[in-house]
Amino acid sequence: MLESQRVMTMGATTALTPEEQLANKYIVELKKAEYKTGILDPSTHSPGYHIFQLLSEVNKSPLFKALRTMPKGGVLHAHDTAICSTEYLIRLTYRENLWICTADEGCKAIAFRFSKEKPTLKAIAECSWEPMSEFRERRGEENVRRYLLRRFSMYPYSTFKSNNQAWNHFMSIFILLDGLLCYAPVWADYYYRALKEFYEDGVQYLELRSLLPELYCLGEKKLTINDTVQIYKDTLERYMAKNPNFIGSKLIYAPLRGVDPPVVEKYVETCVALNKQFPTFLVGFDLVGQEELGRPLIDFVDQLLKMPEHINFYFHAGETNWYGSTVDENLIDAVLLGTKRIGHGYAIIKHPFIMSLAKKLGIAVEVCPVSNQVLQLGQDYRNHPASHIICQDVPMVISSDDPSFWHALPLSHDFYFAFLGIAPMRADLRFLKCLAINSIKYSALTTPEKVIGIQKWHKQWIKWINEVIKTKGQLEPREDKSLKK
Ligand SMILES: [Zn+2]
């Protein structure tokens, strides 16, 4: 029985070369060491905790360090203004001509704007503008740095009253970042930096969901949504020219879902026009925002069916705990609409028919473990529903959604919790290799692009396997000590 179960599990039948088997021994050793201390004293087992409570502990884990250097393939689920490190965001606030709008007697940051003169723009709440340099002077550089470190993230809240409250806070970060990132020169630099940070974290391909806002400049010049995509494309080309081993990046147009059907009709028209102009770069469509508060997909069926066949859907669906609700049933509509992947699919295990269809049709579920925890769908990684996806070998990829907001690395933390917390104890390098290959297999790359993508990944993979074998003796398993302070 054990063997029949094992062969059904994701990655179990992935072949390993003799070198990979050698590296596997070491990876398993590191994993077992964490299990061993965890079982002896569950208070030391990191997947049982909220990431905010033990981020620095995880960063010291030898298993985490090994996963960090591993070539992990691509990230297929990430939102474009929530992917760079907070340190980088803070650095952006030192740029010339930046203004900040604050409330609560100059303490709470409400908005940013680049401008030669005091901005006349009305922010989302009552606040007053001052140059960022003066704000920094008034409050002290280190204080501002520490404040922004939190303000640009979900910290310190490991618990909210409800997931609605978590979402409110989450959306407020996006709104705050708008004025900082939607400035045309910063937009390009932020994306370039994201590609760099992802690549350094072992990610060679990035599929971004974007609202595609209209960017602004210092003068009167107005930019269009086409310019936004053009800036992305030019930046990517600039990055690829310097990093030929990077596989690439593509865009999924993903505007907000909390709108009326005629607006979705406009979205579809915009998507078709953009795809015409950027046929190999802007390739998909999705709707974003809190699923539970937006409208269900079924409300937009007539509009969505107008999307031409060659532009694929990659719908967020089932990011909920409300079993049987319309949000939960988004999973069914997403599949009926022909979605190529399911964003989150947290509720999919409650729909065995959808699970079997996803398996038959090759619809991959984009699992984002840390995001699910921070947005309060579940606490303990060992209870994450993706365990069911793994044990039935439904196609799955691991992604990071908005790593910037939880101070996580572009993909390593999600891989760590998936491997140690969600996958079965005996899941090994086969599982990890399968995840990396899946991220290219189920991407929006064309078939010839996938062939090149796999080659580029494999080149890095072999290098990593050899490094693991070589440095094996230098990485010691984690010491046995309590995580609880
Ligand atoms: Zn998402």
pLDDT digits (tens, 9 = 90+) for 68-120: 999 999 999 999 999 999 999 999 999 999 999 999 877 889 999 999 999 98
pLDDT given at position 474 = 59
Considering the domain architecture, whether residues 100 and 74 belong to the same structural domain is answered as: no
Together in a domain, 328 and 410: yes
Q: According to the model, what pLDDT value does residue 473 have?
A: 61
Which H or E element spans position 111?
strand 108-114
Q: Token digits for 134?
A: 């003066």
Mean pLDDT of 115-129: 89
Position 7 in a domain: no
- Residues serving a catalytic function are 319, 344
Please indicate, yes or no, if residue 23 is contained in any of the structural domains. Answer: no
The mean of the pLDDT values for the chain is 94
If asked whether residues 134 and 190 sit together in one domain, one would say: no
The rounded Å distance from CA 370 to ligand 1 centre is 12
Q: Say yes or no: 218 and 363 in one domain.
A: yes
- Tokens 């990396």 belong to 436
pLDDT of the residue at 479 = 52
Same domain, 193 and 252: yes
Contact 207, 77 (CB under 8 A): yes
Do 280 and 264 belong together in one domain?
yes
171 alpha carbon to ligand 1 midpoint, in Å? 12
User: How many angstroms does the Cα of residue 135 sit away from the middle of ligand 1?
Assistant: 33
Residue 303 has pLDDT above 90, yes or no: yes
Ligand 1 mean position, distance from CA 288 (Å): 7
Q: Is residue 6 part of a domain?
A: no
Please determine, for residue 484, whether its predicted confidence score (pLDDT) is greater than 50: no
When pLDDT is cut at 50, 70 and 90, the band that residue 225 belongs to is: very high
pLDDT digits (tens, 9 = 90+) for 445-465: 999 999 999 999 999 999 999
List the 282-285 sheet strands across, edge first: 73-79, 203-210, 248-253, 282-285, 312-317, 341-344, 364-367, 396-398
Confirm whether 179 is domain-assigned. Answer: no
Neighbours of 361 (CB within 10 A): 12
Q: What percent of the chain has pLDDT over 90?
A: 86
Q: Shortest CA distance to 253 belongs to which of 266, 262, 240?
A: 266
Average pLDDT for 142-157 = 93
Q: Has residue 24 been placed in a domain?
A: no
The yes-or-no verdict on residue 158 having pLDDT over 80 is no
Residues 448, 452, 453, 456: what is their CA dihedral angle, to the nearest 10 degrees? 180
Q: Based on the fold, state whether residues 431 and 343 are members of the same structural domain.
A: yes
**Residue 380, SS3 per DSSP:** coil
Residue 264: CB atoms within 10 Å = 23
- Is the model more confident about 228 or about 483? 228
DSSP assignment of 5-65 equals HHHHSTTTT----HHHHHHHHHHHHHHHHHHHHHHH-GGG-GGGS-HHHHHHHHHH-HHHH
Distance 79 CA to ligand 1 centre (A): 6
**Which residue's structure tokens are 């054990």?**
2
**Looking at the DSSP assignment, which residues form a beta bridge with residue 251?**
208, 282
Residue 220, C-beta contacts closer than 8 angstroms, at least 6 positions apart = none
What backbone phi and psi angles, to 5 degrees, belong to 207? -105, 110
Q: How far apart are CA 226 and CA 275, in angstroms?
A: 10
Neighbouring residues of the ion ligand 1, judged by CB less than 5 Å = 401
Q: Identify the CA nearest to 328 among candidates 357, 302, 350.
A: 350
From ligand 1's centre to the CA of 206, what distance in Å? 14
Q: How far, in Å, from the CA of 59 to the mean position of ligand 1? A: 24
The Å distance, Cα 346 to ligand 1 centre, comes to 12
Pair 133, 211 in one domain: no
Boundary of a domain, candidates 133, 163, 193: 163
Rounded Cα gap, residues 274 and 254, in angstroms: 13
Q: What domain range includes position 413?
A: 67-85+184-463
Amino acid, res. 463 = K
Q: Does residue 126 fall inside a structural domain?
A: yes
Identify whether residues 218 and 106 lie together within a single domain: no
Q: Tell whether 235 and 330 lie within a shared domain.
A: yes
Average pLDDT over residues 339-368: 97
Helix (H), strand (E) at residue 365? strand 364-367
d(CA 197, CA 209) in angstroms, rounded, equals 17
Residue 34 domain-assigned? Answer: no
Per-residue pLDDT of 336-347, as tens digits, reads: 999 999 999 999
Contact criterion met (CB below 8 Å) for 347 and 323: yes
- Is pLDDT above 80 for 481? no
171 assigned to some structural domain: no
Number of domains in the chain: 2
Domain with residue 230: its CATH number is 3.20.20.140
Cβ pair 71, 411 in contact under 8 A? no
- According to the model, what pLDDT value does residue 146 have? 95
Q: How far is CA 339 from CA 34, 329, 363, 437, in A?
A: 38, 14, 7, 20
Alpha-carbon gap, residue 222 to 232, rounded angstroms: 17
Same structural domain, 339 and 361: yes
Same domain, residue pair 364 and 419: yes
Burial class (CB in 10 A: 0-12, 13-18, 19+), 236: buried
Q: How far is CA 267 from CA 259, 272, 306, 478, in A?
A: 11, 9, 11, 50
Question: Looking at the predicted structure, is the pLDDT value of residue 485 above 50?
Answer: no
Quote the ligand 1 centre to 272 CA distance (angstroms).
Answer: 22
Rounded to the nearest angstrom, the distance between the alpha carbon of 85 and the centre of ligand 1 is 17
Percent of the chain with pLDDT over 70: 97
